[in-house]
Amino acid sequence: MTGGGDCPGLNAVIRAVTKTAIYQYGLEVFGIEDGFMGLVQNRIHPLSANDVSNILTLGGTILGTHNKCDPTRYPVTDSDGNTEFKDVSDRCMDHIKHHELDAIIVIGGDGTMSGAANFVRKGVNCIGVPKTIDNDLEGSDITFGFSTACMVATEALDRIHTTAASHHRAMIVEVMGRNAGWLALHSGVASGSDIILLPEIPYDIDKVCQAVLNRSKHGKRFSILCVSEGTKPKGGELVVDHIDPNSPDPIRLGGVGKVVATDIEKRTGIETRTTVLGHVQRGGTPVPADRVLATEFGHAALQALMQGKENRLIVMQGRTVTDVDLLSAEGKQRIVKLDNPILQAARDVGTSFGD
């Protein structure tokens, strides 16, 4: 099952799990469509080796995904059009028993793992595989999908660079990441961004503007800013694009890049433009690093299951693929710490973090 937002490498995991299960152990494999929604609606079908052939390089997921379905809070509409939220976990359990599923390989981020934890408590053996372009799942140093998203963001920043230089502007690229700044930090450093704004470091707009002006005074007539969607000013609030009441994670961030651009232009007089990358960071063919990592994770998930392990989360710690208690990641988010060596290296070469 794949849950949450899509990302490059999901199909590589599905392929690794399915082919290892069939070729090495003679197991029967089922695919659950559209995350927990497929479990609620009993959209579960067998997967053969042929079904997962030639999908290693494909972005997205052949099983589909869903980032709004929480079986413990499922919207049910009556004949009068009134909607109320009900716990339909028992319905999911009936479907699991009907298909005689011995375990579920759950591929997703922190929200999906929290959903899996509900079924762990009901006696279902869930093996988690961490997936998120935000790289924010507790317990794993890296998640597949992050490297591809970082490449996309870095390339966008590189392209923005030439436009900024030509027009003598300050140019902002807003990247994803929610409340974790990994994507902004890595793509910002990789692209040589002059200013990087992270959720972990609330920015002082006066210092951001001063950094832009200082570059101008030293003959550098443009500035590149990589801004994480979850950043906010000191003493200020997050910029929320909209609220989705039907989602387990209702707050949708977005728009902080425009806020920062408006403030810079108003305070410095320097023309400032914003590009919001949005979902382009999620799509497309996974880079080789994500294909390899996803294959390792999928294989390790099946191996853990066959070793008799229960309710484990496959993680990368250092350079080693291992596993930890799946419940250990529930409700937690891995964020950038202020003593991170990449952050310190960026400071030492003159990058501003607006603080």
Residue tagged active-site, from 134, 136, 194, 290: 134
Identify the burial level of 82 via C-beta atoms within 10 angstroms of its C-beta, where 0-12 means exposed, 13-18 middle and 19 or more buried: exposed
Provide the 3-class DSSP secondary structure of residue 354.
coil
Q: In angstroms, what is the C-alpha Rg of the chain? A: 22
What is the token pair recorded at 248? 């387990």
Neighbours of 348 (CB within 10 A): 8
Catalytic status, residue 134: yes
DSSP structure string for 256-300? HHHHHHHHHHHHH---EEEEE-GGGGT-SPPPHHHHHHHHHHHHH
Distance, CA of 242 to CA of 18 (rounded, Å):
38
Helix boundaries (H) for the chain: 10-25, 36-40, 89-98, 110-120, 146-167, 182-191, 205-217, 256-268, 288-306, 341-348
Give the CA count within 13 Å in the CB-facing half-sphere of 245: 4
Contact status, residue 137 vs residue 334, Cβ threshold 8 Å: yes
Catalytic residues: 134
